[in-house]
Amino acid sequence: MSETIKSFLYLNRKAPYGTIYAWESLEVVLIGAAFDQDVSLAFVEDGVFQLTKHQNTSAVGMKNFSPTYAALGDYEVKKVFVEKESLEERGLSLDDLQPLTWEDEDEDWAEKDSIQLVTRAEMTAIMDGADVVFSF
């Protein structure tokens, strides 16, 4: 009997520009979520820069895709994990990240934060608990 895959974790390690990894990860996440997959995102190392506010890409000649992260809640992507140590090592805090929210229909459409700040040890446990981890 084959095993059913239940959860997908997309691990984002790269800076948002200079490679296509960040954009491809976001596209795959949105596609998976559109097909009702249990999708989570994790941001570690330079991947935390993907969620920073006020990105200006004019100097690198690439489209700024960071506003697309705001659509995650519309796709029922509610689990966005950011590693605390990665933020701190880069001189960032939660206040430097764009707000990501989802609406809880069970609580009269109350807006809730999607971003969960986790320690490196907690991130390891999250990765261990996923059925499939895609690293970008």
CA 63 – CA 87 distance, rounded (Å)? 24
Tell me the two tokens of residue 53.
């506010």
Which tens digits make up the pLDDT trace of 108-130? 888 999 999 999 999 999 999 99
Q: Under DSSP, is residue 37 helix (H, G, I), strand (E, B) or coil? A: coil
Q: pLDDT at position 116, please?
A: 97
Mean pLDDT of the chain: 92
Secondary structure element (H or E) that encloses residue 134, with its range: strand 132-135
Residue extents of the structural domains in the chain:
7-135
Q: pLDDT at position 2, please?
A: 54
Which CATH homologous superfamily contains domain 7-135? Answer: DsrEFH-like (3.40.1260.10)
Q: What is the pTM of this model?
A: 0.91
Strands 79-83 and 115-118: parallel
Bridge partner list, 92: none
